[in-house]
Chain A
Amino acid sequence: MSTFLDRVFGRVGLGGVMALVAPALAVVFAGLVTSVVLLIAGHQPVEAFTSLVEYGAQPRVLVLIVNLATTYFLSAVAVAVGFRMNLFNIGVDGQYRLAALVAAAVGGAALVPGPLNIVLVVLVAMLVGALWASIAAVLKVTRGVSEVISTIMLNAIATGLTGWLLTADRLGVLSGNAIGTPPIPGDAHMPGMALIPGTPMKINGFLVVAIIVGVAYAVLLNRTRFGFNLRATGRSEPAAVASGVNVKRMVVAAMVISGASAGLIGMPELLGSSFEYSLNFPTGLGFTGIAIALLGRNNAVGMAVGALLWGFLDSSSDALQLMDISKELVDIMKGVIVLSVIIAYELVHRYRVVAAQRKVSRELAAPAETEGAAA
């Protein structure tokens, strides 16, 4: 049997049609709740949703949504690796910010020419993310410190550290009222892709990287021995130990993979858009990743859909404000969606348990029937 927490964090999944029905129901339910909120605030829900969809369907906005989703998806994968192993890596946020800052400084120094610099920046980011995450892993395996506590604290330390590093006499360069790392030279910019017709804006080249990461994640967890050990440890540590899994090594490995993936989160922005780590660098992406991992049930495709949905919601805040609707409506929608997905999965799960029990008792009550008739 699975525990409630196993189900919440998506360590056990629903199979078949139900895996699609549950989240769809949740989104519909969230739409209803949002409509009620809109009505209370004196707006027309149908009108509001129609204009949001119209806005979101414009080529320019589609590009923005896909680019946001690329970043969100990478963040969700970083979180999901931990979830599958029963590790709650809340430190993804600090890991990606620190990684992006150090990588930006290395990239800005232009130690190697052209595309090599891109590779170097990405590797540095993954390394820094992995190292920062491994602090929590080492504390857990040697001293038994809960990773929830240590990663939250490491987030605060990362904030202090990036603040200290991003000053004019260290890694930062002052320009007007803004401060940032030296810009990464033009030959090391990730090229964009003009995938969506009707707009000169380009899809971030890291979309390809995100897809590769998604496939690698699915294969690693579902098709390798390492992935099996990781999932087994997540479901039951004693059982994993009994079958010969070195749990401590798994904890370190999972945190390092999670941290290295976290290092990638800042890369689409750094190498595809801002080319520097400045005061304007996006924050809080690690927490977005937690929401999307929950939403997508740690499933690569599910998380991709969740990331796109989040990208759409985030980009719609300006369109809402144009209609004189408070942008906080987006937060209400996000919150309701996450909650209702969890509740929908739980309800469907319980319904299935009850249905299975009924089926068993029906079969027991009618032992005389042949197999074919029972079916």
Chain B
Amino acid sequence: MLMAAAACGGSDDKAETGASASSDAGATKGGKVGLAYDIGGRGDQSFNDAAAVGLDKAKGEFGMEAKELEASPGETDAQKEERLRLLASGGFNPIVAVGFAYSGSVKKVAAEFPDVKFAIVDDADATGPNISNLVFAEEQGSYLVGAAAALKSQKGNVGFIGGVKVPLIQKFEAGYVAGAKAVKPDIKIQVKYLSEPPEFTGFNDPAKGKTTAQGMLDAGADVVYQAAGGSGGGVFEAVKGANAMAIGVDSDQALTADKAVSDVIITSMLKKVDVAVYDFLKNYTANSLKGGETRYDLKAGGVDFSTTGGKVDDIKSQLDEYKNKIISGEITVSQTP
């Protein structure tokens, strides 16, 4: 079956015409990547999108084919398992699961398909010989933007808006609060979450993000950090209206946010899910996958703060100092608030 096509691989897939109509797993040079998103999928302007960026880059560079499947709200673990099984039994290899919600399902399905390589983003619990865990030190990056907020705030009052009150987002809060307090121990920090589990709408409710940010600004805050996914746009709008400052999350939002509001973003906490996904696919192609946990922290450059727009240039040396202290281990940042 298509041995010849598989062997000479190299050509791009468009060149292979009718003769190779059936989809053979080995027909493409880099393999067929299966990507399972969490709720929201590609286009969520957040975390899933970051994974998509990494996938797109790898697709272009390594000539990989890809299928992307998306979760439905409220589904059971059995449905997540079936999604991974469908990909694995359909010849997709490697498979990337985006989000800790896939933890149990990846562990189970990876054991059933020992020859398929799996990666899971944001989870270190699902372990196995063929599982790569891509995890991030969100608290370290958040510490730096917390320090930036405290240094930039004139009123000594800053805010944090989390999308949903889950342990993952509480890591952002913990780092932010610690960073702000390191600069100014008596600083006032307002913390709000848009929704509580099992209600996950907080990641996709810009209107609520806007009113919540408005409330914080009215209560005296002049810098607001959002870790609220798709709700972040609303936060930026409110901040723009009050002529205050905002801090973005995940990607460099001074570049990606709506142009009408992007000038209020002084910096963003970068969580490089795209780099992690890209690295995984690159290692897969180069046959150098080790499996196990890869921790993307400040030291590895997996989290960072952005300087686009030059609004934190005046305090950059101070932030770099904190950064070096975290890298050297002089400062350890707690993961829980």
A279 touches B198 (CB 8 A): yes
Q: Determine the chain A residues whose CB is within 8 A of the CB of B199 once the complex forms.
A: 159, 163
B166 touches A68 (CB 8 A): no
B90 touches A322 (CB 8 A): yes
A97 touches B79 (CB 8 A): no
Report how far A61 CA is from B85 CA in the complex, Å.
10
Q: A176-B123, A284-B74, A321-B70 are in contact. Are A159 and B196 (CB under 8 A)?
A: yes
Nearest CB of chain A from residue B149's CB, rounded to whole Å: 24
A162 at the interface (CB under 8 A from B): yes
Q: Which of A97, A160, A280, A314 interacts with B196 by CB under 8 Å?
A: A160
Q: A60-B85, A279-B198 are in contact. Are A178 and B69 (CB under 8 A)?
A: no
Report how far A68 CA is from B189 CA in the complex, Å.
45
B316 at the interface (CB under 8 A from A): no
B125 at the interface (CB under 8 A from A): yes
B125 touches A176 (CB 8 A): yes
Report how far A171 CA is from B101 CA in the complex, Å.
19
A273 touches B168 (CB 8 A): no
Contact mask A153-181 → B, CB, 8 Å, 1/0? 00000011011101010000011111100
Q: Determine the chain A residues whose CB is within 8 A of the CB of B103 once the complex forms.
A: 176, 178
Nearest CB of chain B from residue A253's CB, rounded to whole Å: 30
The listed residue with most B CB atoms (<10 A of its CB), out of A97, A164, A318, is A318
Q: Determine the chain B residues whose CB is within 8 A of the CB of A60 once the complex forms.
A: 82, 85
> Of all chain B residues, which has the CB nearest A166?
B197
Report how far A72 CA is from B74 CA in the complex, Å.
13
B82 touches A179 (CB 8 A): no
Q: A97-B198, A269-B76, A282-B75 are in contact. Are A321 and B100 (CB under 8 A)?
A: no
Q: How many chain A residues have a CB neighbour from B under 8 Å?
A: 39
Report how far A284 CA is from B166 CA in the complex, Å.
19
Report how far A159 CA is from B196 CA in the complex, Å.
8
B198 touches A281 (CB 8 A): yes
Report how far A283 CA is from B71 CA in the complex, Å.
13
Q: Which of A61, A162, A178 interacts with B198 by CB under 8 Å?
A: A162
A177 touches B77 (CB 8 A): no
> Of all chain B residues, which has the CB nearest A317?
B72
B83 at the interface (CB under 8 A from A): yes
The listed residue with most B CB atoms (<10 A of its CB), out of A61, A177, A317, A318, is A177
A327 touches B197 (CB 8 A): no
> Of all chain A residues, which has the CB nearest B81?
A64
Q: Which residues 301-326 of A sit at the B interface, judged by CB distance below 8 A?
A: 314-315, 317-319, 321-322
B116 at the interface (CB under 8 A from A): no
Contact mask A121-134 → B, CB, 8 Å, 1/0? 00000000000000
A175 touches B78 (CB 8 A): no
Q: Which residues 140-197 of B sit at the A interface, judged by CB distance below 8 A?
A: 165-168, 171, 196-197
B104 at the interface (CB under 8 A from A): yes
B114 at the interface (CB under 8 A from A): no
Report how far A227 CA is from B202 CA in the complex, Å.
43
B82 touches A178 (CB 8 A): no
Q: Determine the chain B residues whose CB is within 8 A of the CB of A319 once the complex forms.
A: 86
Report how far A318 CA is from B41 CA in the complex, Å.
13
Nearest CB of chain A from residue B97's CB, rounded to whole Å: 13
Report how far A269 CA is from B81 CA in the complex, Å.
14
B73 at the interface (CB under 8 A from A): yes
Report how far A284 CA is from B79 CA in the complex, Å.
15
Contact mask B78-106 → A, CB, 8 Å, 1/0? 11001101100010000000001101100
Q: A160-B196, A163-B196 are in contact. Are A177 and B123 (CB under 8 A)?
A: yes
Q: Which residues 111-142 of B sit at the A interface, judged by CB distance below 8 A?
A: 122-125
A274 at the interface (CB under 8 A from B): yes
Q: Determine the chain A residues whose CB is within 8 A of the CB of B122 once the complex forms.
A: 177
Q: Determine the chain A residues whose CB is within 8 A of the CB of B325 once the complex forms.
A: none
Q: A60-B85, A61-B82, A315-B79 are in contact. Are A283 and B167 (CB under 8 A)?
A: no
B67 at the interface (CB under 8 A from A): yes
B67 touches A322 (CB 8 A): yes
> Of all chain B residues, which has the CB nearest A322?
B67
Nearest CB of chain B from residue A149's CB, rounded to whole Å: 19
Q: Which of A162, A269, A315, A322 interacts with B69 by CB under 8 Å?
A: A322
Q: Determine the chain A residues whose CB is within 8 A of the CB of B73 once the complex forms.
A: 283-284
Q: Which residues 54-92 of A sit at the B interface, judged by CB distance below 8 A?
A: 60-61, 64, 67-68, 71
Nearest CB of chain B from residue A287's CB, rounded to whole Å: 9
> Of all chain B residues, which has the CB nearest A331?
B72
Nearest CB of chain B from residue A290's CB, rounded to whole Å: 14
Report how far A64 CA is from B90 CA in the complex, Å.
18
A210 at the interface (CB under 8 A from B): no
B78 touches A279 (CB 8 A): no
Nearest CB of chain A from residue B255's CB, rounded to whole Å: 27
Report how far A174 CA is from B76 CA in the complex, Å.
20
Report how far A71 CA is from B70 CA in the complex, Å.
22
Q: A317-B72, A318-B69 are in contact. Are A163 and B123 (CB under 8 A)?
A: no
Report how far A179 CA is from B336 CA in the complex, Å.
13
Nearest CB of chain A from residue B119's CB, rounded to whole Å: 15
Q: Determine the chain B residues whose CB is within 8 A of the CB of A314 once the complex forms.
A: 72, 75, 79
A318 touches B196 (CB 8 A): no
Q: Determine the chain B residues whose CB is within 8 A of the CB of A280 once the complex forms.
A: 77, 101, 104
Report how far A162 CA is from B78 CA in the complex, Å.
22
Nearest CB of chain B from residue A69's CB, rounded to whole Å: 12
A176 touches B82 (CB 8 A): no
Report how far A159 CA is from B198 CA in the complex, Å.
7
27 contacts between A and B (CB under 8 A): A68-B78, A162-B198, A163-B197, A166-B197, A174-B167, A174-B336, A175-B125, A176-B103, A176-B123, A176-B124, A176-B167, A177-B122, A177-B168, A178-B100, A178-B103, A178-B123, A178-B125, A179-B167, A279-B197, A282-B75, A283-B74, A284-B73, A285-B74, A314-B75, A315-B79, A317-B72, A330-B72
* Chain A contact residues, CB within 8 Å of chain B: 60-61, 64, 67-68, 71, 97, 159-160, 162-164, 166, 168, 174-179, 269, 273-274, 279-285, 314-315, 317-319, 321-322, 327, 330
Contacts A64-B82, A269-B76, A284-B74 given; 19 further ones with Cβ under 8 A? A64-B78, A67-B78, A68-B76, A97-B198, A162-B197, A163-B196, A163-B197, A168-B167, A168-B336, A174-B336, A176-B125, A177-B171, A179-B167, A273-B76, A279-B198, A280-B104, A284-B73, A322-B90, A327-B70
Closest 5 CB pairs of A and B: A163-B196, A284-B74, A177-B100, A283-B74, A177-B168
